[in-house]
């Protein structure tokens, strides 16, 4: 059995810089941090569903037996507020509205998931990319701790920045 949901990326003509920009700004599915996390968890024996359309917000990685799921949030699209999520200087009003809508939708999806009894781990892109990134093995270890501790209802993993613990395996504020 191999990990599902992969697509080969033939005809890729972007420079690494362009590709990285595309990944952070455009793609909301199958982003690099998401692939890293699900492959590592798969290698550790975890099995899951991807992009479950039946659940609010179409969560990225779903563990039905554990009633748990992992959302990999791109910092820009989900308006994290970290250094990877600066609002573009042009068409500022458009982007502010767009990102505000995205945040509101995330918040509704989280409430719905929680009401339906799901445990939710949010892994922000900056946990694995950019200047605040953490050791990937530590991030995967933290994902595994979340999966194995049913008392953890909500948890957050994000990049290091001042005033932020980075890895909070308890309710987010
Ligand atoms: Zn971030």
User: How far, in Å, is the centroid of ligand 1 from the Cα of 102?
Assistant: 15
Whether the Cβ atoms of residue 62 and residue 48 lie closer than 8 Å to each other: yes
Averaged pLDDT, 44-51: 93
For residue 55, give Cα distances in angstroms to 48, 76, 127.
Answer: 14, 23, 25
Residue 29 has pLDDT above 90, yes or no: no
Taking the complete model, does pTM exceed 0.75, yes or no? yes
The answer to whether residue 149 is domain-embedded is: yes
In three state form, how does the secondary structure of 53-113 look? CCCCCCCCEEEHHHCEEEEEECCCCCCCCCCCCCCCCCCHHHHHHHHHHHHHHHHHHHHHH
Domain that residue 143 falls in: 22-168
The answer to whether residue 69 is domain-embedded is: yes
Q: What is the bridge-based pairing of β-strands 61-63 and 49-50?
A: antiparallel
The answer to whether residue 96 is domain-embedded is: yes
Q: Give the C-alpha separation, 144 to 130, whole Å.
A: 23
The answer to whether residue 157 is domain-embedded is: yes
User: How far, in Å, is the centroid of ligand 1 from the Cα of 78?
Assistant: 9
The answer to whether residue 11 is domain-embedded is: no
CATH number at residue 103: 3.40.960.10
The answer to whether residue 32 is domain-embedded is: yes
Number of domains in the chain: 1
Residue 112 vs residue 19, higher pLDDT: 112
Any idea how long the chain is? 173
Across the chain, mean pLDDT equals: 82
Averaged pLDDT, 49-75: 88
Q: Which pLDDT band, with edges at 50, 70 and 90, does 13 fall under?
A: low
The answer to whether residue 26 is domain-embedded is: yes
User: How far, in Å, is the centroid of ligand 1 from the Cα of 166?
Assistant: 10
Span 67-115, pLDDT tens digits: 999 999 999 999 999 999 998 989 999 999 999 999 999 999 999 999 9
User: How far, in Å, is the centroid of ligand 1 from the Cα of 28?
Assistant: 14
């Amino acid at each position: 059995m191999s990990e599902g949901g992969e697509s080969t990326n033939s005809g890729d003509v972007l420079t690494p810089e362009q590709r990285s920009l595309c990944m952070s700004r455009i793609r909301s599915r199958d982003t690099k941090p998401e692939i890293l996390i699900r492959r590592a968890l798969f290698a550790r024996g975890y099995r899951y569903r991807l992009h479950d359309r039946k659940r609010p917000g179409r969560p990225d990685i779903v563990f039905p037996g554990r009633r748990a799921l992992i959302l990999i949030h791109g910092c820009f699209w989900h308006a994290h507020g970290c250094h990877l999520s600066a609002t573009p200087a042009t068409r500022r009003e458009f982007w502010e509205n767009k990102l505000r809508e995205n945040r509101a939708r995330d918040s509704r999806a989280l409430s719905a998931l929680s009401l339906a009894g799901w445990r939710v781990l949010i892994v922000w892109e900056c946990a694995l990319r950019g200047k605040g990134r953490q050791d990937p093995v530590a991030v995967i270890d933290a994902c595994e701790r979340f999966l194995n501790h049913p008392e953890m209802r909500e948890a957050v993993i994000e990049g290091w920045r001042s005033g932020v613990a980075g890895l909070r395996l308890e309710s987010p504020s």
